[in-house]
Structure 1
Amino acid sequence: MTSEGETPTKKEVLFPQIGEVVDATDDEGKPTEIESYCVNCEQNGVTRLLLTRIPHWRDIIVMSFECEHCGFRNNEVQFAGVIAEKGCTYTCEISSPEDLDRQLVRSESASVKIHEIDLELPSSNTQRGSLTTIEGLISAIIDDLSSEQPARKYTDEETYKKIEVILERLKAFRENREKCTISVNDFAGNSYIENLCAPNPDPKLNIRYYNRTREMNIALGLNVDSCADDEEDTAKKDHLQNNVIKDLQANEKEEELRGDDKVSEVMIFPTNCSNCNTPSDTRMHMINIPHFKEVVIMSTACGYKSNEVKAGGPISPQGKRIKLKIVDIEDLSRDILKSETCNLIIPDIDLELTTGTLGGRFTTIEGLLRQISDELQQRVPFASGDSVKEERRKTFANFIEKLNKVISGEVLPVHLILDDPLANSYLQNLYAPEPDPNMLIEYYDRTWEQNEALGLNDMNVENYEANNDEDSVDKNPN
């Protein structure tokens, strides 16, 4: 604390951006140097530490060791941020020189697999995090496999020949003479493969997020002592959520019977913050959207604020597609409920949000578009910085400019499409209960693939205790 008359000191920035470090001329911008033991010649070398931030990505620690006695050098990257909420798997098809230039972040907990040759680099507590490219990764694998080949040729000729075949394939991949598919699986969620089409989906890149198992949490050093196994823990959470929703419904019914104008009770239960994992409170409230259905709004505040909307009621038998022609500023003020299963498309500016992006949101069209703009500028990795090609930088800047012009109403009309296979999304009708001349609502039958992705093909709600195997829904007959 500062005494009266003293000026409070400015908060120290531990993780400046790389550009700020490069431009810094004072001693504060230089890396920290520490005298360290050299494992190669057993004398002392110098380790340099730099706390920095990759733009739109994460805080990292760059470490470099150099020994002036024997010339040995070593470097690695460690993440300084929090562990992601879920694990992730990036799968990318490499078929052009541009794909080989994709930047790749591989954390200490990530495993890498090249599918065509069934080659896998497993995760290990001893491996170092790295920031490289696809070509750099393949080159590193080639160097590692080639290092012992001269000795192996005379001591184990059979293994030598097998590795030579793999090396030839890897060189073909590196020189783009042959296509390959690379997967990076990281249960810490801290690895990444660059999206060359950002902010749009990359047709060559598939991203899948998944919940970690108990064993994965233990490997990451997370506190799981108070948790039971995964199935019991999931059952407890489901039971808690069901009780909370039942309490919300009971409170609303009581309010209706009393005829009060007061807002029904907001339920509060303890959770952990998704950003810093600090214990915090989540608030839940169930409301009824006119001409739609009941929804549950959840909000968590811990300095970092987040909110989400869950649709209530049964699963719709059909999917729903809403098409709106936005013709003036007034249309941007329409209420919109975008569920977590909804795809949002604005074809006029080539904007497409796939299922799961931004989660569930209940806001206005303008508010949602502003959030999309902010998220793209703050969280799209490698969309700016010294390593980005000028062509890609201009493409991304032009897209953000077009999106902001739609938000401000300079570029109208445009078409907004909400495609939700569960029909849990909603767009306000300004002419309700009459039809909206600028809005078209279509219902369609879900495909087998959509039902499979939503887990509906294997769902059984009748006689499941008697004979679950016989009564389960048949899978794809093809």
Structure 2
Amino acid sequence: MRSDEPAPAATAGEDQLFQDLHAEASAQEIESLCMRCHETGTTRLLLTRVPHFKSIILMAFECPHCGLKNNEVQSGESIQEEGHRHELRCTTKADLSRQVVRNGTASISIPEVDFTAPPAKDSTLTTVEGLVSRFVEDLGADQEQRREAMPEVFQAIEAILARLRDALTLPEEDGAEPSPHAFTLVVDDPTGNSYVENLCAPSVDPKLSVRYYRRTREQMVELGFLNPDADEAQWTEKERELIGKKQRVNMAEEMEAAKKLMQEMRQASQAKEIMTFPSNCSSCGVRCETRMQMVDIPHFQEVIIMSTTCENCGYKSNEVKCGGAIHPRGRRIALTVEDKDDLSRDILKSETSSFKIPELELDMLAGTMGGRFTTIEGLLRQVHDELNERIPFLEGDSATAERKARFKAFLARVADAADGKVLPFTITLDDPMAHSYIQNIYAPDPDPNMVNEEYERTFEQNEDLGINDMNVDAYETAEGAAASQA
């Protein structure tokens, strides 16, 4: 089944295929052939969801005849829109205990050791220490044979093994001087289905960075999604097909289609009509409906409000898209919330906006929770509910009592802020696209509790937003020239 086709509808009363980790999920047992003694063993399967991540399949095989045991993890997700590259700076023993979901398509590298592990055959759910220990075990397996046959190779591998073993001897805490054995773990997965645990959740982890990128032609071939003999047009078409995007002939047609859609939405908005179009539920894949309407926010701009409800699994989603042009500068809005009346102010957080509340130690990156049009109170309650349900690895054995207590205290502060029990506090929206908004109850006069600041976007911000390569003046001429050169 292709990723853009609807999944078959579940029958009434049928359990969801993938269950949450905190649910009382039971493993399914099936008989399997043991590859060592060729007798019948047992494989236990558990289809589960890692909170705030994706669906995975846990498999455990055991043979009662020869004692063979094997554990494996497979991704239950389709290929993501972009590849993910996780970079983790490991300086203490706590970093070695971070959980890692390594998909079979992910490569692992440690630049300080000049070590790179290509994509593995199997996926694994382990820790950073478990990954490094596995590398040491695999590299050292044939060292005795290399000592006699290839002395130079033996010495080179011994040097790498020594540095990998040193990497497992990190101190308990960061000292004044960085540890000489500190290292960087890089997990690069072109399918986007690997994960490295954030120990500072829900805040930004200063030691962990994630970069998203478009897959290269070589990666598409290695993943088996592209024929090695395919040309550039077939590569682009296949990439767009995998991420569910429709290909248009050229930019001129795409611009014309966007203008036509905006015109239709304005006409529907003036008539107070709600547009409805079919879509697929992002939770269960069953066909559902998405409702969309354009709304003009006073003293701001037009926005598109979309709402999706799935009758099959009960999933609901609300999202806001800004319908205006790209502003020449970014905008930072800071509001001091002094009383409960301020909690009822309307707030539009676009998908490109980050927001933070220093008093609550809350710092959400751009793209988190998507676009939202609600009130300040509503946004805080959504943050509370999302984090309470989807923070990874806080329900399992890997979470320490200290982390659980600290996270529960944080959630309690967010809930108290939404109830108006923690005042005053400052909420700051930082949007490089200037598409975010907080209601000014004194409009058109300035709000004494609100500060609006415009700033020049950096080159990196423009690059992330796709603005550096954007051509809106003579795209037809430029496109024709590029086609003639090709």
Match of 2:376 in 1: 365
1:438 counterpart = 2:452: no
Structure 2: runs of 5 or more not aligned? 1-10, 171-179, 227-233, 480-486
1:396-407 counterparts in 2 under 5 A? 396-407=407-418
Q: How far is 1:155 from its partner?
A: 1.7
TM-score scaled to structure 2, two decimals?
0.80
Instruction: Tell me the distance in 2 between the aligned counterparts of 1:362 and 1:206.
Output: 28
1:135-180 deviation per Cα after TM superposition (whole angstroms, max 9, x unaligned): 1100001101111111121122222222112111211212225121
Q: Distance in 2 between matches of 1:49 and 1:309?
A: 42
Q: Distance in 1 between matches of 2:117 and 2:421?
A: 51
For residues 329-348 of structure 1, what are the alpha-carbon distances to aligned partners after superposition, in whole Å with 9 as ceiling and x for unaligned? 22111111111121111111
What residue is the counterpart of 2:229 in the other structure? none
Give the structure 2 partner of residue 137 of structure 1. Answer: 131
CA gap of 1:467–1:66, structure 2 versus 1, over 3 A, is closer
Mapped pair 1:186 → 2:189: yes
- 1:291 aligned partner, one-letter code: H
Find the counterpart in structure 2 of residue 46 from structure 1. 41
Q: Secondary structure at the match of 2:404?
A: helix
Q: SS at the partner of 1:432?
A: coil
Question: 2:200 aligned with 1:197, yes or no?
Answer: yes
CA offsets 1:160-210 (integer angstroms, 9 cap, x no match): 222112111211212225121112223333321111111100001012334
Whole-Å Cα distance in 2 between the matches of residues 181 and 267 of structure 1?
49
Q: Assess if the C-alpha contact under 8 Å between 2:56 and 2:77 holds in 1.
A: yes
TM-score using structure 1 length: 0.82
Q: Is the Cα–Cα contact under 8 Å of residues 293 and 304 in structure 2 kept in the other structure? A: yes
Residue 257 (structure 2) aligned to one of 243, 250, 254? 243
* RMSD (Å) for aligned C-alpha atoms: 3.4
Whole-Å Cα distance in 2 between the matches of residues 218 and 279 of structure 1?
32
Match for residue 341 of structure 2? 330
Whether the aligned pair in 2 keeps the contact of 1:47 and 1:63 (CA below 8 Å) is: no
**Letter in structure 2 aligned against 1:136:** G
Alignment-mate amino acid for residue 193 of structure 2 = N
User: What amino acid is aligned across from residue 301 of structure 1 in structure 2?
Assistant: T
Q: Match of 2:32, as an amino acid?
A: S
**SS of residue matched to 2:237:** coil
Change (3 A) 1:331 1:52: same
Q: 2:321 aligns with which of 291, 310, 314?
A: 310
Secondary structure in 2 matching 1:92? strand
Q: What does 1:103-182 align with in structure 2 at a 5 Å threshold? A: 103-124=99-120, 127-176=121-170, 177-182=180-185
Alignment match of 1:252 (pick from 266, 272, 285)? 266
Shift of 1:302: 3.0
Instruction: Indicate yes or no: 2:237 matched with 1:228.
Output: yes
The residue aligned with 1:208 is 211
Number of aligned residue pairs: 444
Shift of 1:81: 5.4
**Cα 1:274/1:217, change in 2 over 3 Å:** farther
> Residues 415-434 of structure 1: matches in 2 within 5 Å?
415-434=426-445
For the residues of structure 1 that align with 2:184 and 2:285, how far apart are their CA atoms?
A: 34
Q: Which amino acid aligns with 2:412?
A: E
Q: 1:236 to 1:98 in 2, by over 3 A?
A: farther
Q: 1:73: how far off?
A: 2.4
- Is there any run of 5+ residues in structure 1 with no aligned partner, and where? 1-7, 23-28, 257-261, 469-478
Q: CA deviation at 1:277?
A: 3.8
Q: Distance in 2 between matches of 1:188 and 1:277?
A: 19
- Please state whether the residue corresponding to 2:398 is helix, strand or coil: coil
Distance change (3 Å), C-alpha of 1:244 and 1:217: farther
